[in-house]
């Protein structure tokens, strides 16, 4: 991140770096314009190759994430995030291959609104990714705070989504080393994977389940991948995807930013996926009367069920959002987002490491205390929220990868809207089946429904 930024009049102001870079400034963090807390020199708790482990940020079912310090040959240092495969997964050759493929894909991406992956590889047989440290909360953490106030101001919300759309447009048109288009589809666009730095920068992260034209489609693999509440209709049905699927997912995020409430959260995966496939595009204005009609129309178009009726690219979505912001005359900038974050988060929230991050059990390679984590990537949404919770942390499920394989005919069949009586019988049968088979029910519904 550049050390300088611009105020609303265009003049340069020195914000400093909110996380370490390659300069000789060591671990200093600016403490000026927005009164960010100074980060002390954190002690090293363990070593992983050349990386100094400073604390654990999160732990998921397959990987764990640490704040680390890297010292270059010239003695300069920087903070970064180290994502490492869990020891119990280290011998799973297929998972390791997929993990490293994520890194090889992400390391190619350079954009101001995309979290950069510096390198990927293996140390002592353990696969890892070294990533840019995004010092700030997730969009989801902001929504949990802003939810009781019916979301964030419309102009700020639209601006954040326009920034994310710019990141998606870049990703969708990224090219490989051979110059050929990769045709990447992110597949997991959600508030969990949109980071907000304390100085107001928006970045998209986590390409763990992104696919390119070379890696195949969901229809070919027979698995649903992504967070169920943020899938597109075609993703929920297991069909082949293109960039317009990510547009739909970002449309869900826009709705939630403007209303402060989840759009497709239902009692279970079956109900959630059914709502995504069958329910008509919702009105954000109906949920929050403060949403302007023109912006509500943008939400509805992004959430169109038919891909042909949506914005046909992330760039088109971004243009619509920026056009509305300009026409509204509202202020939307990094500075305003930074001030908004400052109104919802205090100094304790801005601690660089969550509580309990130094709790390492045994050796570094034996972190198996089973502590819960919100996901595989770094998040500062780590403590009980004293405000009324609209976005409940119990709903945070990083992936839904465990559906049984489906036949191509079942995947390609259009969803059927069952009569009320048949739906009641199906719901009863679904409930019993859920007790017996768990997560596999979601996909089974689309086979038998």
Catalytic residue set = 188
Inter-residue contact 66 to 54 (CB < 8 Å): yes
CA distance 395 to 335: 31
CA distance 314 to 321: 11
CA distance 216 to 240: 9
Inter-residue contact 161 to 199 (CB < 8 Å): no
Q: Which of 8, 340, 331 is nearest to 141 (CA)?
A: 340
Task: Using alpha carbons, list the distances in angstroms from residue 64 to 53, 237, 377, 427.
Answer: 12, 30, 8, 37
CA distance 321 to 112: 19
Q: Concatenated DSSP letters for 245-261?
A: HHHHHHHHHHHHHHHSS
The residue whose two tokens read 């314009």 is: 33
CA distance 277 to 293: 24
Inter-residue contact 227 to 397 (CB < 8 Å): yes
SS3 (DSSP) at 144: helix
Q: Residue 362, exposed/middle/buried by CB under 10 A (0-12, 13-18, 19+)?
A: exposed
Task: Report which DSSP code applies to 379.
Answer: -
Task: Report which DSSP code applies to 63.
Answer: E
**Which tokens sit at 281?**
């595009």
Cα-only R_g, the chain = 22
**Which tokens sit at 46?**
């363990």
| Helix 243-259 / helix 154-172 crossing angle, nearest 10 deg | 170
């Amino acid at each position: 991140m550049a050390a300088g930024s611009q105020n609303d009049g265009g003049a340069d102001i020195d914000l400093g770096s909110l996380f370490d870079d390659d300069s000789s400034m060591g671990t200093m963090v600016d403490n000026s314009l927005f009164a960010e807390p100074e980060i002390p020199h954190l002690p090293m708790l363990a070593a992983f190759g050349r990386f100094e482990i400073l604390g654990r940020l999160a732990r998921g079912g397959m990987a764990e994430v640490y704040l680390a310090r890297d010292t270059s040959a010239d003695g300069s240092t920087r903070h970064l995030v180290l994502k490492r495969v869990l020891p119990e997964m280290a011998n799973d050759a297929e998972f390791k291959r997929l993990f490293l493929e994520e890194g090889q894909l992400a390391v190619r991406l350079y954009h101001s609104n995309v979290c950069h992956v510096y390198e990927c590889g293996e140390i002592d047989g353990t696969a890892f990714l070294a990533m840019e440290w995004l010092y700030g909360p997730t969009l989801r953490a902001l929504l949990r705070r802003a939810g009781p106030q019916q979301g964030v101001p419309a102009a700020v919300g639209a601006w954040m989504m326009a920034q994310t759309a710019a990141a998606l447009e870049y990703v969708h048109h990224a090219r490989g080393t051979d110059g050929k288009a990769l045709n990447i589809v992110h597949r997991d666009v959600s508030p969990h994977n949109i980071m907000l730095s304390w100085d107001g920068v928006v970045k998209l992260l986590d390409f763990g389940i992104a696919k390119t034209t070379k890696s195949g489609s969901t229809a070919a693999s027979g698995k649903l991948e992504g967070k169920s509440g943020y899938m597109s209709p075609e993703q929920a049905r297991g069909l082949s995807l293109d960039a317009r699927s990510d547009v739909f997912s970002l449309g869900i995020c826009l709705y939630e930013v403007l209303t402060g409430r989840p759009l497709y959260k239902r009692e279970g995966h079956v109900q959630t996926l059914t709502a995504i496939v069958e329910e008509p595009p919702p009105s954000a204005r109906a949920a929050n009367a403060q949403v302007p009609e023109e912006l509500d129309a943008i939400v509805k178009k992004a959430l169109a069920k038919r891909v042909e009726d949506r914005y046909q690219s992330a760039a088109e979505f971004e243009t619509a959002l920026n056009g509305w912001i300009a026409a509204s005359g509202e202020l939307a900038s990094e500075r305003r987002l930074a001030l908004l974050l400052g109104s919802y988060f205090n100094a304790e929230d801005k601690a660089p490491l969550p509580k309990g991050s130094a709790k390492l059990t045994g050796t570094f390679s034996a972190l198996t205390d089973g502590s819960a984590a919100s996901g595989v990537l770094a998040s500062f949404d780590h403590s009980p929220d004293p405000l009324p919770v609209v976005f409940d942390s119990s709903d945070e499920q990083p992936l839904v990868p465990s559906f049984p394989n489906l036949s191509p005919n079942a995947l390609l069949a259009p969803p059927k809207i069952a009569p009320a009586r048949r739906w009641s019988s199906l719901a009863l049968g679904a409930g019993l089946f859920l007790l017996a088979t768990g997560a596999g029910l979601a996909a089974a519904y689309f086979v038998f429904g």
